[in-house]
Amino acid sequence: MENRVHSHQQQKEETITENCMSNEVAIIPLLTPYKMGNFNLSHRIVLAPLTRQRSYNNVPQPHAILYYSQRASKGGLLIAEATGVSDTAQGYPETPGIWTKEQVEAWKPIVDAVHAKGGIFFCQIWHVGRVSNQDFQPNGQAPISCTDKPLMPQIRANGIDVARFSPPRRLRTEEIPQIVNDFRLAARNAMEAGFDGVEIHGAHGYLLDQFMKDQINDRTDQYGGSLENRCRFALEVIEAVANEIGADRVGIRLSPYANYLDSGDSNPTALGVYMAESLSKYGILYCHMVEPRMKLSEESFECTESLLPMRKAFKGTFIVAGGYDKEDGNKTVAENRTDLVSYGRLFLANPDLPKRFELDAPLTKHNRSTYCLSDPVVGYTDYPFLENTA
Active site residues: 206
38, 286 Cβ separation under 8 angstroms: no
Q: Which amino acid is at 60?
A: P
Return d(Cα 36, Cα 192) in angstroms, integer.
22
Other Cβ atoms within 10 Å of 193 Cβ, number: 23
Return d(Cα 213, Cα 190) in angstroms, integer.
28
Other Cβ atoms within 10 Å of 166 Cβ, number: 18
Q: Which amino acid is at 364?
A: T
Return d(Cα 280, Cα 26) in angstroms, integer.
34
Return d(Cα 188, Cα 123) in angstroms, integer.
11
* 268-282 vs 227-245: helix crossing angle, rounded to 10: 30
265, 301 Cβ separation under 8 angstroms: no
Return d(Cα 283, Cα 251) in angstroms, integer.
10
Element at 185 (helix H, strand E) = helix 176-192
348, 81 Cβ separation under 8 angstroms: no
Closest CA to 129 of 212, 53, 249, 235: 212
Return d(Cα 302, Cα 305) in angstroms, integer.
9
372, 52 Cβ separation under 8 angstroms: yes
Strands (E), the chain: 34-36, 39-41, 45-47, 77-79, 83-84, 120-126, 144-145, 154-155, 162-163, 169-170, 197-202, 250-254, 286-290, 317-321, 340-343
